[in-house]
Amino acid sequence: MRNPVQDYLEQIVERCGDAGGEVASYIPELAAADPDTFALCLATVDGQVYEVGQAGHRFTIQSISKPFTYALGLHDQGLDAVARKVDVEPSGDAFNEISLAPGTGRPRNPMINAGAITAASLVAGSDGEERFARALEWFGAFAGRDLDVDEAVFSSELASAHRNRAIAHMLREFGILEGDPEPVLEQYVRQCSIAVDTRDLAMMAATLANGGRQPRTGREVLEPALVEHLLAVMTTCGMYDAAGDWVSAVGMPAKSGVSGGIIGVLPGQVGVAVFSPRLDAHGNSARGVTIFERMSRDMEMHLMHVSRGSRNAVRSSYSLATARSTTRRQGADEEVLDRVADRAWVYELHGDLLFAGAEAIVRSVVRDEPELAVLDFSHVNEVAEVSRLTLLALRDRLRADGSEGVVVDPGGVVPDPDAGTDSASPRFTDLPSAIEWCERALIRAHCGPRPEPDPVEDHPLMRDLEEPAAHAVRSAMTHRVVPAGEVVLQAGGPFAGVHLIVRGLAEAQGPGPDGEPVTLVSMGPGTSFGELALGTDDEQRTTIRAVEELELLVLSADDLARIGEDDPALGVQVWRAVARDGYRVADRALRRSAVRVG
């Protein structure tokens, strides 16, 4: 089944077409870039990546390197030591402004060139080569793979780095850099020339979204406290002199680069990367900014959006093979469910469903490919609009594949826009009712042509018997009618034989946590009760009550004993059949009560 999240991202790209702009021209190699190259990648905090466009196209990281080098400096030197060299205040100036903060003499922040060159000097190492080698490995740890340098871009950029050279020498003049500034400048230019693709950038952003732990390798690259500091600086300074507009319109920690890349971080949820080489007047990807603005609106990604979002929206998922209803059905129907119950899946959800939660749900359903998918919203507080639309798209995709989505929504947190029409989803106020509905739907879909079952002759107890033994059982059975509401068997009583239901509905009750009786199982025609007492020292452990008037055929304990006395061989066969039937009932009861872990 195709993933609706993928469909949504492709629709965003179609709606956010050419936004104008020009490729960077001050670096000759960048000026030669194809302006129409495009890619969008979204990576979740558990490592799932969605791609649109040329996600494998390689380009140089440029200024998107700045937050990661700054992070390495923080990791190596600590916050206080780094703060003595570079401030964290928004500059309001262009990224390549030749200036330092009045009074302190420090670069205003590590996201402009002056601060980034300073941050490069704070990476631990004996010289520029060693510092760069550590930075390259560090970048690769965020991306989850080894990276390398585009030597052609490096040479082109270093040869034309006159403004950055001036900045480096200014930093040396004011004592921010110590020693010869040229090795630091070369280190900085080389880090900007690291080759990445949009997938790499999305994973690097997702590592920050995941609190500094790389989603696929599991390595903690950066301490969570430093991640918080870094994301704060990216929020206020990452988009240069357009940072205010970005925070207002998009509201995500972000960083751009003049090659056309932008990364955005939604903490706890996703990392996003866009590549489109045409730049706006601020040096940011024009189409990339447009796409981020659209995604932020649609997906409620703004950091000021108030929500109690949970990182893992799926608290549990399981198939009906391990979570059947409490209804005990006649043999043929039970056999159908035994065969196809794993085609229906339950997804118990919780928390507030933001985009990341909806994506996790969609991915689980796409992975399981269920014929029936039950989405249980009983423990969900709020559903974001993007999540509602995503889940509706999931329902449509299920139906296109011949499947169905079933909703449990006692609180009405996800209204169905098709309510009252034939297109509405099956909806329930409790999970047991939804599971019962799914079982009936599976039986209808998979039973195949068959004659109307006989509630007695098609019972497993009778089917297991050869004709002489079956005749003996039929002859011994007595007919009994029990009015609705009356107790058939009382808990604590002795084994009273096997009771086959011909007509009506019964339920087995036991004490609940508060001592009040609770229904353990419901039973209809073609099922039986009473045989489990054989496995509990001949003591009836549950109370059996008639929900509707019951018509029963009863094979009592005395009848069983008499069959064995009259013909021991037949008696052995009957007792074996009763034991097998008791085992079937016990096995199904065990599976119903099993702990369900998603």
* Residues tagged active-site: 63, 66, 188, 240, 258
The first and second tokens of residue 377, run together, are 């919203």
Q: Look at the alpha carbons of 97, 101, 106, 112 in this order and tell me if their dihedral is positive or negative.
A: negative
Tell me which DSSP letter residue 595 carries.
P
Cβ 297 vs Cβ 325: under 8 Å? no
Tell me which DSSP letter residue 256 carries.
E
Residues 6+ apart with CB under 8 A from 28: 156, 160
Residues 6+ apart with CB under 8 A from 532: 541, 542, 582, 585, 586, 589
Nearest to 157 by CA among 57, 259, 226: 259
- b/e string for 106-117 if b means 16 or more Cβ within 10 A? bbbbbbbbbbbb
Cβ 552 vs Cβ 502: under 8 Å? yes
With tokens 């689980």, the residue in question is: 364
Order of strands across the sheet that contains 194-196: 59-60, 194-196, 148-149
With tokens 């340098």, the residue in question is: 149
Nearest to 243 by CA among 299, 294, 191, 283: 283
Rounded Cα gap, residues 442 and 338, in angstroms: 11
The DSSP bridge partners found for residue 41 are: 51, 273
Residues 6+ apart with CB under 8 A from 51: 39, 40, 41, 198, 199
The DSSP bridge partners found for residue 518 are: 510
Q: Which amino acid is at 417?
A: P
**Measured in whole angstroms, how far is the alpha carbon of residue 35 from the centre of its chain?**
35
- Residues 427, 433, 434: CA angle, nearest 5 degrees: 50
Is 424 strand, coil or helix? Answer: coil
Written in H, E and C, the secondary structure of 57-99 is CCEECHHHHHHHHHHHHHHHHCHHHHHCCCCCCCCCCCCCCCC
Nearest to 362 by CA among 405, 325, 400: 405
**Measured in whole angstroms, how far is the alpha carbon of residue 142 from the centre of its chain?**
21
